[in-house]
Amino acid sequence: PQSVFVYVNKVGAHFHYQNRYPKDQTHFRPTLDQNEWVNDQNRILNSYYNTIRWNVDSFFQYLLKRLEKKDSLILYTSDHGQSFFDKGLVSPTGIVINPPKAQANVPLFLIATGSYDSSFRKQNIYAKCNQNKLSHFVIFPTILQLMGYEKNQVQKFYGKSIFEKNENARKFISGNLFGRGFFYKNNFVGKGIR
């Protein structure tokens, strides 16, 4: 009967990919064997695609079916992207210094269900303008605005949300939560932070 904020940290698509989906959900073949990691890009990608199909596609099919008639907003993202042999590197994630750009590319989207669907479609006039320009830095201001905080105050202290046109929002952090990483902005030029 009242608004509820729910934070879900779900299983994603992380290597070893072939351990992240049931065997009967192997649609793309050939795949890696359990706990295997070899330099076979085709097998790695097939295992990755099976993981995405199971952990993302199936998850949303299940969830959205149950939220169809409920007024809900879902903000979805990932903690990092994956790279497959970019710059000749075998590791798909976790490269701190000069990481491949693919490791910074993550899904970031808002899904509205119930009566929110049509009202958010009308409201979000900058959706196309922001495509491929947003980063995790818009998540917190977006949540504050959705909770009812005044837009100008949110922008003043935390920056623009997903609902405002973000001209130069291409920035990301590489590293970990403890500050042993690098801050990248725009053309991915690094500047160390401590």
Q: What is the mean pLDDT of residues 110-135?
A: 80
Give the integer Cα–Cα distance in Å for 117 and 122.
Answer: 9
Band of pLDDT at residue 155, cut at 50, 70 and 90: very high
Asked if residue 19 has pLDDT above 50, the reply is: yes
Q: CB of 55 within 8 A of CB of 63?
A: no
Indicate the range of 32-36, 68-72, 73-77, 167-171 predicted with least confidence. Answer: 167-171
pLDDT for res 186: 39
Asked if residue 140 has pLDDT above 70, the reply is: yes
pLDDT for res 126: 63
Band of pLDDT at residue 129, cut at 50, 70 and 90: confident
Report the share of the chain in percent with pLDDT over 70. 84
As to burial, measured by CB atoms within 10 angstroms (0-12 exposed, 13-18 middle, 19+ buried), residue 92 is buried
